[in-house]
Chain A
Amino acid sequence: MVEILKPQTSEQVVDAIAWASGEEIPIEILGSGTKRGFGRPMGDANRTVAHAVDLSGFSGITLYEPEELVLSAWAGTPLAEIEAAVAEKGQMLAFEPPRWARLYGEEGGTLGGMIACNLAGPRRVKAGASRDHILGIEAVTGRGELVKSGGRVVKNVTGYDLSKLLTGSFGTLAALTQITIKVLPSPETIETVVLSGLDDEQAIQAMSVALNSSHEVSAATHVPGNLSDVLPGGGGAITAVRAEGFVPSVGARSAALQKLLAPFGATSTLDMEASKAFWSTIRDVEPFVGTDDSLWRLSVMPSEAARIIAEIGAPAFMDWGGGLIWCQADTADAASLRRALAAHGGGHASLVRAGEDARRDIPVFEPQPAPLAALSTRVKDSFDPRHILNPGRMYEGV
């Protein structure tokens, strides 16, 4: 039985973690728990995690100033609530947060969970990930101390950027309590230029031509025929690039992109509504939703993506112009998959979905070289010396 504490103020989070730290009791840090399937199973035979701090009740937007492009909220605020609030003012979270919950058969997700996992959608190629939009954080460390970093302004180098360090730390360093992020204006319109029937290698070339042009491509994906059924207009292989912005500009850039991509075959376009539907499918990794099959996420050198996919030989599609590969490879092939990456320019592979045993036996996150692993452990120790926060979720013993 897991005892769940649901603090609703920073002081309560401090109390809960200070107690756990004092008693050396390992605890799980939760948002809405939709991405629990991502990461190593916590604890081990000697140390079961029997307590959780659930931040989903610690919710609400505390500041939103559209003209300043800034929003703060408690960590447990549902992402949907935030996206609705900014959409009302014609704004968005520019890194296009994906709904990973769906990969685990769940719905929803909190701001804290999104930041703790450093999520990013197709616009990563242009706008970056969560980490590029975080302005400030308040969090309770594994020592039970409330610390803050950053602020509410875009430009800030006052002290170390602990906000970035905590983004993507999967609750292993501190429990995030309040988060301040940058918001940006939503595009006036969107148009997607589509090519059909390319193989992976041709697709990489086409996406590279588009991304290397001055037409400000904000997303580039390729889905092979065996995975494109879930896409609007799917069936065969689809390669798509997106232009967004002001109406006259998007029209001009889309036309230019069609011309530029003509050597790769006939092009067609998706209008704003069709584009939204298309890109949310890519964003939410729909080709791999609705199964329990093991799922890998590979961050690679874009130019090598086709060769890596060929070497792995499992169903896969690409986002980020090839920089991101989603791939349904068997967990038994973990080692050869990671070797393929290393042989093709490096990068890293994360096991995003798999059964508990597999996630215990196979490193979920890319194993690090010894000096880097040692440094990561020292960083962990600096926040959480007794390893009580989400112990083992990222690396064994961390």
Chain B
Amino acid sequence: MKMPDPDVDVIARREDILAAMQSLVPGEGVIADATGMAVYESDGLTAYRQLPLIVVLPETVEQVSAVMAYCNAHGVKIVPRGAGTSLSGGALPAADAITLGLGKFNRVLEVDFENRCARVQPGVTNLGITHAVEADGFYYAPDPSSQIACTIGGNVAENSGGVHSLKYGLTTNNILGIEMVLPGGEVLRLGGKHMESEGYDLLGLMTGSEGLLGVITEVTVRILPKPTTARAVMLGFESSEAGGQCVADIIGAGIIPGGMEMMDRPAIKAAEAFVQVGYPLDVEALLLVELDGPSVEVDYLIERVREIAEALGYVSMRVSESEEERLQFWAGRKAAFPAIGRLSPDYYCMDGTIPRHKLPEVLARMSKLSDKYELGVANVFHAGDGNLHPLIMYDANKPGELERAENFGSDILRLCVEVGGVLTGEHGVGVEKRDLMEEVFTENDLKQQQRVKCAFDPNQLLNPGKVFPTLHRCAELGRMHIQRGQLPFPDIPRF
């Protein structure tokens, strides 16, 4: 992975920049020593590390604005950062860039039950929002597995999802407004407590923009009343085809479960060895289906799911009879990453999305790739929405293994694209998938995305080296190639 060459001129000005930052963000908000900065050198994609130029931790939107305006005027790059759990290297620092951490923006500003929303600062954790509203019977629906740690600002930047996204949507469907700071320092509000943001849907555009367009300083999220009941069904199948068919049949029957997750044999084995929750070990596919709503509905749907699974000849089936048991069913799935971490010194988590019915084909071909690269792979899968998380097991201390793992991963993602899917469902492009963007997009597509970037960040200072494989200057992107002439299309019907 090649990052842009650091700007030596900026690095030479480090002392001046540091002094400016210290005057803009007084107190302990500026970290400049290598030891202090070390915790920021990487994010959830730990294979890449880089010390930032300086770490700045502002506390107010005025400080964010002042820092951004200074950086814009002095050509200094900025990498925004929440909790640093990104799995795509989205928050990876650059040697010539300030890492702007939003950790001190950690307050829930307002909970408004009448309008079913909450206004929070970007550094509040995902779970922190639910904690703030759950006593009143509400919750914040998107629930990434990293929800104890990851921030809502990071969630907006990555458009994160979770188990519940199948029924309740991703981050983008669950936020009403943001306050943000543009690279020039201007503060904007998009949306609010009303349901629709006005004009162009810049709120939709900002969601999933990976910190490349602006720094989010406040988020208004929708909160939902908690369903009265939730129960989980655990189904074992002797083939991934049968498991995949069960997913298709459940959806075909008009049922959108609260969550529907699948694991393959290596993932089941690893999870069971780690947390001992009673997963069946003699199956190729384990399906967890969560049904939520009023208890009559849940009971009714469990019966329907049972009928569907029976028709497909399930190997095992258990229905949770208590809240404790439901959580136990999920414990294995939720611990899948660390469970793999116990089996292998390192693992690399992929995030492709495919049309659901391609699952058996993709798993079969992935297993061939696993033989080719001589690396194990375990699969957990947001089965309801076709989002795969293959976990490639490798040992970074063995020469060449990291590279092999990365090549294996790239082949998996190419496979996802080939069958009609995409490179990333929820983890973002970051640095990790940057160089694969051309597998999905044409040059025109990518240039248009970069023109949008230029509309926000004309000096291209925000989160450099991420998302786009080839950088173009904004002036060059703006140029028009004009062909003049007579109506060149005699074949288009006219009236």
A146-B444, A165-B452, A169-B200 are known contacts. Are A22 and B483 too (CB-CB below 8 A)?
yes
A101 to chain B: which residues have CB within 8 Å? none
Interface string of B476-494 (1 = CB under 8 A from A): 0010101111011101111
Which of B11-19, B205-213, B317-325 makes up part of the contact surface?
B205-213
B186 touches A371 (CB 8 A): yes
A67-B357, A161-B204 are known contacts. Are A256 and B294 too (CB-CB below 8 A)?
yes
Residue of A whose beta carbon sits closest to that of B249: A67
A6 within 8 A of B: yes
Which of B23-31, B50-58, B77-85, B157-165 makes up part of the contact surface?
B157-165
A132 touches B492 (CB 8 A): no
Which of B100-108, B112-120, B329-337, B367-375 makes up part of the contact surface?
B112-120
Which of A35-43, A147-155, A194-202, A263-271 makes up part of the contact surface?
A147-155
A46 to chain B: which residues have CB within 8 Å? none
A6 to chain B: which residues have CB within 8 Å? 492-495
A65 within 8 A of B: yes
Interchain Cβ contacts within 8 Å, total number: 294
A320 within 8 A of B: yes
B427 to chain A: which residues have CB within 8 Å? 157
A173 to B451 CA separation, bound complex (whole angstroms) = 12
Contact of B254 among A90, A124, A300, A369 (CB under 8 A): A90
Interface string of B419-452 (1 = CB under 8 A from A): 0111111111100010001001110111011011
Interface string of A109-134 (1 = CB under 8 A from B): 00000000010100011001101100
A21 to B426 CA separation, bound complex (whole angstroms) = 37
B226 touches A348 (CB 8 A): no
- B176 CB to closest chain A CB (Å) equals 10
B300 touches A249 (CB 8 A): yes
A151-B421, A157-B425 are known contacts. Are A303 and B115 too (CB-CB below 8 A)?
yes
A145 touches B448 (CB 8 A): yes
- Tell me what chain A mostly uses at the interface: helix, strand, loop, or mixed: mixed
B248 within 8 A of A: yes
Contact of A148 among B186, B226, B256, B441 (CB under 8 A): B441
A278 within 8 A of B: no
Residue of A whose beta carbon sits closest to that of B440: A158
Contact of A4 among B189, B196, B255, B495 (CB under 8 A): B495
B44 to chain A: which residues have CB within 8 Å? none
A302 touches B114 (CB 8 A): yes
B429 to chain A: which residues have CB within 8 Å? 157-159
- B491 CB to closest chain A CB (Å) equals 7
B400 within 8 A of A: no
Interface centre among B248, B425, B452 (most CB of A within 10 A): B452
B390 within 8 A of A: no
B467 touches A159 (CB 8 A): yes
B159 to chain A: which residues have CB within 8 Å? 157, 161
A381 to chain B: which residues have CB within 8 Å? 455, 478
Contact of A155 among B137, B199, B387, B492 (CB under 8 A): B387
A186 to B254 CA separation, bound complex (whole angstroms) = 7
A251 to chain B: which residues have CB within 8 Å? 296
Interface string of A361-396 (1 = CB under 8 A from B): 000011011011001101111110110000000110
B488 touches A19 (CB 8 A): yes
B308 within 8 A of A: no
A16 to chain B: which residues have CB within 8 Å? 489, 492
B424 touches A385 (CB 8 A): no
B297 touches A245 (CB 8 A): yes
B:450-465 near A, CB below 8 Å: 451-456
Contact of B115 among A3, A21, A165, A301 (CB under 8 A): A301
B294 touches A152 (CB 8 A): no
- B61 CB to closest chain A CB (Å) equals 14
Contact of A129 among B196, B200, B355, B425 (CB under 8 A): B196
- B107 CB to closest chain A CB (Å) equals 21
B426 touches A157 (CB 8 A): yes
- A229 CB to closest chain B CB (Å) equals 27
A159 touches B201 (CB 8 A): no
- A213 CB to closest chain B CB (Å) equals 6
B300 touches A248 (CB 8 A): yes
A:68-115 near B, CB below 8 Å: 68-70, 90
A68-B355, A167-B204, A212-B113 are known contacts. Are A157 and B424 too (CB-CB below 8 A)?
yes
A132 to B297 CA separation, bound complex (whole angstroms) = 26
A214-B137, A246-B301 are known contacts. Are A365 and B199 too (CB-CB below 8 A)?
yes
Contact of A153 among B169, B189, B386, B456 (CB under 8 A): B386
A145-B444, A160-B208, A162-B448 are known contacts. Are A348 and B198 too (CB-CB below 8 A)?
yes
A3-B494, A162-B448 are known contacts. Are A153 and B422 too (CB-CB below 8 A)?
yes
Which of A7-15, A284-292, A328-336 makes up part of the contact surface?
A7-15
B493 touches A57 (CB 8 A): yes
B173 within 8 A of A: yes
A346 to chain B: which residues have CB within 8 Å? 192-194
A125 to chain B: which residues have CB within 8 Å? 195
B:173-230 near A, CB below 8 Å: 173, 182, 186-190, 192-196, 198-202, 204-205, 207-209, 225-228
B483 touches A18 (CB 8 A): yes
A12 to B455 CA separation, bound complex (whole angstroms) = 28
- B251 CB to closest chain A CB (Å) equals 6
- A215 CB to closest chain B CB (Å) equals 7
A156 to chain B: which residues have CB within 8 Å? 353, 422, 424-425
A157-B428, A256-B294 are known contacts. Are A379 and B452 too (CB-CB below 8 A)?
yes
Contact of A69 among B251, B451, B489 (CB under 8 A): B251
A145-B444, A249-B294 are known contacts. Are A213 and B256 too (CB-CB below 8 A)?
no
Residue of B whose beta carbon sits closest to that of A154: B385
Residue of A whose beta carbon sits closest to that of B213: A160
A348 to B228 CA separation, bound complex (whole angstroms) = 35
Residue of B whose beta carbon sits closest to that of A385: B480
A158-B429, A249-B300, A252-B296 are known contacts. Are A301 and B194 too (CB-CB below 8 A)?
yes
Additional A-B contact list (10), CB under 8 Å, known A67-B252, A159-B437: A18-B483, A65-B357, A120-B196, A152-B420, A155-B387, A164-B204, A249-B296, A303-B112, A303-B114, A348-B196
29 chain-A/chain-B pairs, Cβ below 8 angstroms: A3-B495, A6-B492, A7-B493, A15-B492, A18-B483, A147-B442, A148-B441, A153-B354, A155-B425, A157-B208, A157-B429, A159-B437, A159-B440, A160-B453, A164-B205, A165-B200, A208-B114, A212-B225, A213-B225, A216-B227, A299-B194, A299-B195, A302-B116, A323-B194, A348-B194, A375-B455, A379-B200, A382-B452, A385-B480
